[in-house]
Amino acid sequence: MTCEEMMAQLADYLGGELVVEHHETVTVHIKGCAKCDSYVTTYSHTTRIVRTLPKCGSLPPAFEARLREVLAEHLSEEVK
Ligand SMILES: [Zn+2]
């Protein structure tokens, strides 16, 4: 398994949604890869913090539209 493959499955891995064999493969990779190990630690720490934040209402529509635009640009750049 490459680091990219691990990253692609990370959300499912942490959500407990991977089948056992895939879960094992990811676990083995993380144990043997310092880069992914620290990424997973940061990622799970961040999601834990975010869950403790109070929920706010809807974003102002103009702000949400701009945010989606920026995120879409950012995500398409990462794919390149
Ligand atoms: Zn890795």
Amino acid 15 reads: G
Q: Kindly give the distance from the C-alpha atom of residue 42 to the centroid of ligand 1, in angstroms, as a whole number.
A: 14
Compute the distance between CA of residue 64 and CA of residue 66 in angstroms, rounded to an integer.
5
- Residue 76: the pLDDT is 85
Q: Kindly give the distance from the C-alpha atom of residue 31 to the centroid of ligand 1, in angstroms, as a whole number.
A: 9
Structure tokens belonging to residue 16: 């407990």
Q: Kindly give the distance from the C-alpha atom of residue 37 to the centroid of ligand 1, in angstroms, as a whole number.
A: 7
Express each pLDDT in 30-79 by its tens digit. 999 999 999 999 988 988 898 898 887 888 899 999 999 999 998 887 66
* Contact yes or no for 36/4 (Cβ under 8 A): no
Compute the distance between CA of residue 23 and CA of residue 17 in angstroms, rounded to an integer.
9
Q: What is the pTM of this model?
A: 0.60
Q: Kindly give the distance from the C-alpha atom of residue 8 to the centroid of ligand 1, in angstroms, as a whole number.
A: 11
Q: Kindly give the distance from the C-alpha atom of residue 80 to the centroid of ligand 1, in angstroms, as a whole number.
A: 20
